[in-house]
C-alpha cells in the first residue's frame, strides 16, 4: 500500500474528551471516527486490525469444533417474549417498530435466535453435540458509553452457543471454549485470566470472565500472585485429550471479579487487588432457554429432553482497545505481529532521490511477492514527521531508507517493540523481518 494513496487521517492534537490511552491512540492514528455516543466508524487501519483479530478467533473456534454462521442484527420481539427476556432486558435493548407496527429489536445477544435455529432443525439426540457461532454487531444502549470502543453502544462480538444432551457433556463443551479462549488471547499477545463471575441477564449457574490486567480497566479484580508466574504451554493443549486437567489447573488458582470475591478463599499474603478489562465471558445455563422455548430432542428410548446450553462471548471491537492498553509507549501503539494492520512499513526519507526511490520500490516489490502486507511511505513530508507517524501507528518493523545509507546499498531496520535499530544489507534485512 502506498501511503500517498491511502486513507490514514492522522489527528495531530490529542483528542480532549478521550480519557484513556487506547481511545486517544485510536483517534490519533485514524483507526476510528466517532459518529455518536458509543458508535464508531472503522477507518481502513482500524478495520484491518478488526479483521485480523476476527480471523484469529475464527480459526481457533473452528479448531475447537465450532461452526461459523451469521445471524442478523435485527431480531423479532416474539422470540424474546418466548424466553421471557423481552421485558426483563430493560432500557439497554434498542426497540424498534417496523412499518407494520411489529416490534423488532437490534440484537444485544443471540440466545433466543440460536435456540430457534436449533429447534427448527435438530430433533434427535444424534444431532448433538453442536456448537454454532458468529461474529456480528450488537447494540446495547449503555447508560454510560465510554473509553471509545471499550464500552460502546454498537460493538462487534463473537458469540458461540453450545448444545448438549446432558449436563456432563455440556460441561465438556464449556471446557473446550474455556481452553479455546486461552489459546485465542495468547495468539493476540494477551494474558487473560479466567475469573469466576456473575451471570447477569444471560443467566445460568456457572460462568467465567476472561480478564486482562490493566490499570485503566473498568472491573475491580482479585487474584493469586501465582498467576503472574504461571507458565503453561497453551498452544499445545489438545481439545480431546488434555481438557479436564488444564481447566482444573486454571480454575484452581484463585481469581475472581469484585462481585464474586471471597476473602476467605485466599491467603491475604498472596492476594493481588487490581483492575482489569473483560475481553470474554462464558456462561453455562443448562436448560434455561431450551425449556422456555421448547428446544428438545428425542432420546434413544423415544422420550423428549430439553438440551443443555452454554454461550460464549468475546468482545472483538473491545479487544482492539484492550490490546493497545497493554501494548503501547509514549510514541504510540506497539502492535503484536499477529494483529498488526501491516507487517512492515517502508519509510523513504528522500522521495524524489532516484536511488532511494528505486531501493524502496524494489524492497516493496520483493516483500509483496512474499505475501507481506506493507505500508510504503512515499509522501514528501519531513523525516521527523514520517518516523513519528510510523511509531504512532505501531507497525512491527520499519525499514528506513535515506540517501546516506542508500549510497552503500544499506537500509536501517527498526523493531517497533524493543526500539532496536540495525543497519543492514538486503540479505540481513530479509532475515530480520522473519522471512
Ligand atoms: N451472550 C453472551 C455470551 S455470547 C454475552 O452477551 N455475553 S456478554 O454480555 O458478557 O458479552 C460478551 C463480551 O462482549 C464481553 O465479555 C465484552 O468483552 C464484550 N462487550 C459487552 N458489552 C460491550 C460493550 N458495551 N462494548 C464493547 N464490548 C462489549
C-alpha cell recorded at residue 229: 508466574
Q: Cα(212)–Cα(193) distance, rounded to whole angstroms? A: 6
95 and 127 assigned to the same domain:
yes
Q: Identify the pLDDT of residue 435.
A: 59
Last residue in a domain, options 333, 359, 389: 333
301's CB contacts (< 8 A; 6+ apart) are none
Say if residues 181 and 194 touch (Cβ distance below 8 Å).
Answer: yes
98 and 235 assigned to the same domain:
yes
Question: Which of ligand 1's atoms lies nearest the C-alpha of 201?
Answer: 9
In whole numbers, what is the pLDDT of the chain averaged over residues?
95
Q: 365 lies in a domain?
A: yes
Segments of the chain scoring below 70 in pLDDT: 434-435
Last residue in a domain, options 333, 358, 375: 333
107 and 250 assigned to the same domain:
yes
The residue written with cell numbers 435485527 in the block is 74
What is the per-residue pLDDT across 304-352, written as a single tens digit (0 to 9) for each?
999 999 999 999 999 999 999 999 999 999 999 999 999 999 999 999 9
| Ligand 1 pocket, residue 398 CB under 6 Å | no
81 and 162 assigned to the same domain:
yes
Q: 308 lies in a domain?
A: yes
Q: How far is C-alpha 282 from the chain's CA centre?
A: 14
Last residue in a domain, options 333, 356, 391: 333
64 and 169 assigned to the same domain:
yes
| Ligand 1 pocket, residue 278 CB under 6 Å | yes
185 and 126 assigned to the same domain:
yes
Degrees (nearest 5) of the Cα angle 226, 175, 152? 80
Q: What is the CATH number of the domain that holds 94?
A: 3.30.930.10
322 and 375 assigned to the same domain:
no
Question: Could you give the number of structural domains in the chain?
Answer: 2
Select from 157, 209, 284 the residue to mutate for testing ligand 1; criterion: most ligand atoms less than 8 Å from CB: 157
129 and 206 assigned to the same domain:
yes
| Ligand 1 pocket, residue 140 CB under 6 Å | yes
Q: Identify the pLDDT of residue 144.
A: 94
Q: 3 lies in a domain?
A: no
What is the per-residue pLDDT across 366-407, written as a single tens digit (0 to 9) for each?
999 999 999 999 999 999 999 999 999 999 999 999 999 999
How far is CA 405 from each of CA 350, 354, 411, rounded to the nearest angstrom? 11, 14, 6
The residue written with cell numbers 447508560 in the block is 143
Q: Whole domain around residue 395: which residue ranges?
A: 344-432
20 and 127 assigned to the same domain:
yes
104 and 228 assigned to the same domain:
yes
Amino acid at each position: 500500500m502506498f501511503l500517498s494513496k491511502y486513507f490514514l487521517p492522522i489527528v495531530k492534537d490529542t483528542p480532549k474528551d478521550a480519557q484513556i490511552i487506547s481511545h486517544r491512540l485510536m483517534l490519533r492514528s485514524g483507526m476510528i471516527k466517532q459518529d455518536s455516543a458509543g458508535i464508531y466508524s472503522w477507518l481502513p487501519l482500524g478495520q484491518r486490525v478488526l479483521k485480523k483479530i476476527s480471523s484469529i478467533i475464527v480459526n481457533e473456534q473452528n479448531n475447537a469444533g465450532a461452526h461459523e454462521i451469521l445471524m442478523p442484527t435485527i431480531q423479532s420481539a416474539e422470540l424474546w417474549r418466548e424466553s421471557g427476556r423481552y421485558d426483563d432486558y430493560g432500557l439497554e435493548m434498542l426497540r424498534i417498530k417496523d412499518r407494520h407496527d411489529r416490534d423488532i429489536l437490534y440484537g444485544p445477544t443471540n440466545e433466543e435466535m440460536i435456540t430457534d435455529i436449533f429447534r427448527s432443525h435438530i430433533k434427535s439426540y444424534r444431532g448433538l453435540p453442536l456448537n454454532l457461532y458468529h461474529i456480528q454487531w450488537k447494540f446495547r444502549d449503555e447508560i454510560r458509553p465510554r473509553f471509545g470502543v471499550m464500552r460502546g453502544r454498537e460493538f462487534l462480538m463473537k458469540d458461540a452457543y453450545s448444545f448438549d444432551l446432558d449436563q456432563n457433556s455440556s460441561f465438556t463443551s464449556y471446557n473446550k471454549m474455556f481452553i479455546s479462549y486461552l489459546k485465542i488471547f495468547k495468539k493476540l499477545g494477551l494474558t487473560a485470566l479466567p475469573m469466576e463471575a456473575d451471570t447477569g441477564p444471560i443467566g445460568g449457574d456457572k460462568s467465567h470472565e476472561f480478564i486482562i490486567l490493566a490499570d485503566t480497566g473498568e472491573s475491580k479484580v482479585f487474584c493469586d500472585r501465582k498467576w503472574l508466574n504461571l507458565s503453561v504451554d497453551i498452544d499445545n493443549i489438545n481439545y480431546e485429550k488434555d481438557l479436564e486437567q488444564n481447566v482444573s489447573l486454571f480454575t484452581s488458582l484463585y481469581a475472581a471479579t469484585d462481585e464474586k470475591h471471597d476473602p476467605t478463599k485466599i491467603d491475604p499474603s498472596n492476594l493481588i487487588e487490581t483492575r482489569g478489562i473483560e475481553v470474554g465471558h462464558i456462561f453455562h445455563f443448562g436448560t434455561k432457554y431450551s425449556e422456555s422455548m421448547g428446544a428438545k430432542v428425542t432420546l434413544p428410548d423415544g422420550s423428549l429432553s430439553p438440551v443443555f446450553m452454554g454461550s460464549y462471548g468475546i468482545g472483538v471491537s473491545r479487544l482492539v482497545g484492550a490490546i493497545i492498553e497493554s501494548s503501547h509507549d509514549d510514541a504510540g501503539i506497539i502492535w503484536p505481529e499477529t494483529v498488526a494492520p501491516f507487517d512492515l512499513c517502508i519509510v523513504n526519507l528522500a522521495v524524489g532521490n532516484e536511488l532511494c526511490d528505486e531501493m524502496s520500490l524494489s524492497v516493496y516489490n520483493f516483500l509483496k511477492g512474499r505475501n507481506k502486507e506493507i505500508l510504503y511511505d512515499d509522501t514528501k513530508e519531513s523525516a521527523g514527521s514520517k518516523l513519528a507517524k510510523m511509531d504512532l501507528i505501531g507497525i512491527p518493523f520499519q525499514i528506513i531508507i535515506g540517501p546516506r545509507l542508500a549510497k552503500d546499498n544499506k537500509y536501517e531496520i527498526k523493531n517497533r517493540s524493543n526500539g532496536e535499530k540495525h543497519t543492514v544489507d538486503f540479505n540481513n534485512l530479509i532475515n530480520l523481518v522473519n522471512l
